Amino acid sequence: MRLLDAVRDADRTVTKQAASRIPASAGKALSGLEEAAESSKLWCGAAVLVASVGGRRGRRAAAAGVTALVVAQLVSNGVCKQVTGRRRPPKEWIPHDEVEDRPDSSSFPSGHTAAAVAFTAALAPTWPLAGAVCAVPAAAVAVERVQSGAHYPSDVAAGAVIGLAAAWLIHRAPHLLRRRLVPWRRAGA
């Protein structure tokens, strides 16, 4: 129970500080970025760009990114949010009007963060430079979700873990399927 109490205390403290200490101009920029990331528009646009300019490598990276994004969205929004039912941070903690523009769904986990991290982490092994470029808006989206009062930091952390797991799965699935579907390869034949 001490761990859960510590997480709750950290969630409360960090949420209040993020909402009140980030300058208004930075908050507006973060809000604009979140709008672009809404419904994964930002990541789909990045996938089109990467696929267009990156040749075969870009198409592979974009396909991995979009596939991981879909898996992360299904897990975070389609499963986890449906079973947790966690309330969003209290409106009185958030001293700006962005708190009025947040969803009514469960707070846990952050689907925006899951999608951003999944796309970026799946893209990076195939095209590290594109992954590094996408990491900047992905991190900013995670910060914005706390700053706007839409999520607690633990929601964002859980979303990041889901995103990383989805990216890992997308890169490991072909190998795992080959091992299952071609059993004689395991025996060394």
Structure tokens belonging to residue 169: 């799965």
Q: Give yes or no for a contact between 137 and 35, defined as CB atoms under 8 angstroms apart.
A: no
What are φ and ψ of residue 164, in 5° steps? -65, -40
Q: Give whichever of 6-10, 36-40, 146-150, 166-170 has the largest mean pLDDT.
A: 166-170
pLDDT tens string 22-33: 777 787 788 787
Q: Look at residue 121 in the predicted model and tell me its pLDDT.
A: 97
Q: What is the mean pLDDT of residues 48-72?
A: 96
Question: Would you say residue 1 has pLDDT above 90?
Answer: no
Indicate the pTM of the whole model. Answer: 0.86
User: What is the Cα–Cα distance from 161 to 170, expressed in whole angstroms?
Assistant: 14
Residue among 102, 111, 114 nearest 149 (CA): 102
User: What is the Cα–Cα distance from 186 to 57, expressed in whole angstroms?
Assistant: 29
* Peptide bond preceding 153 in cis form (omega within 30 of 0): no
Question: Would you say residue 172 has pLDDT above 60?
Answer: yes
Q: Look at residue 100 in the predicted model and tell me its pLDDT.
A: 74
